Structure 1
């Protein structure tokens, strides 16, 4: 039988993870850009924060998905929807961590090699589009995360 403590651990991990996503994306990074005078430095710090967040998200979503799979195998079908939410969050994290962020970092590094900020380089348009895609993915992950926490804190009985 699935213990209440195990369900609470699932909820705790989900809550901390999603809280971190929301804090980094919607509080810390905007404060960075408004506080630092140099947008290039703020962007580089933000990129490192988002890269770390993406790696943590990959690991956390896998752990929570394994827990949800275990719950479903024990007969708790309530966690079936949570697995789909976690799969969506994992897809967001993988695309950010291993496609979008490295691509953006590469463009930024190429511009710096030329002695320019990425906004001044020929990569500016592509970087801007990738930034938009990255922001949309992050927003989707945050919305899925809120849905996950909402479900995780609901009484599943």
Structure 2
């Protein structure tokens, strides 16, 4: 049973962090560079970011349960436990706060594109905050990958 929990632990980290890096730093830039329509690229990228957000929340729940099932409340003393909690909180803030706000700004700008409206500056500011959170999650995820073998001890 121990081998199965270790395999699941590593799978969840790989799925979440690999997805963060692949979507944020490979897929999204290629979409914007390749598609002639920036709005379409943004819609597709937004759907992918939402998907990896859900994957992240599910992975975080699984990782925390695995850590607690293995170590009990001692897991709360682990830096990796708090990295997962921090990443999950950033994901939740983005998923349930920032992203819906950006969608609302786009809707409020209609019939114009948000980047051609008076809401442009607000959208750019929230997009910047979202990008910073994503970068922080990605870096914490890298730390999680590098130290992953310590999470179940």
- TM-score when normalising by structure 1: 0.88
Matched, 1:134 2:130: yes
> Cα offset for 1:154?
5.7
Aligned to 1:99: 97
1:7-22 aligned within 5 A: 7-22=6-21
Instruction: Flag structure 2 segments of 5+ consecutive residues without an equivalent.
Output: none
> Cα offset for 1:66?
1.2
1:1-150 aligned within 5 A: 3-73=2-72, 80-111=78-109, 113=110, 115-150=111-146
- On the 8 A contact 1:33/1:42 being kept in 2, the answer is yes
Q: Which moved more, 1:60-69 or 1:85-94?
A: 60-69
Query: Which structure has more helix as a fraction of its residues?
Result: 2
> Cα offset for 1:133?
0.3
CA gap of 1:156–1:92, structure 2 versus 1, over 3 A, is closer
CA gap of 1:74–1:3, structure 2 versus 1, over 3 A, is farther
Instruction: Flag structure 1 segments of 5+ consecutive residues without an equivalent.
Output: none
- On the 8 A contact 1:72/1:79 being kept in 2, the answer is no
CA distance in 2, matches of 1:6, 1:107: 43
> Cα offset for 1:141?
0.6
CA gap of 1:155–1:88, structure 2 versus 1, over 3 A, is closer
Q: Which runs of 4+ in 1 moved over 6 A?
A: none
> Cα offset for 1:80?
1.8
- On the 8 A contact 1:72/1:80 being kept in 2, the answer is no
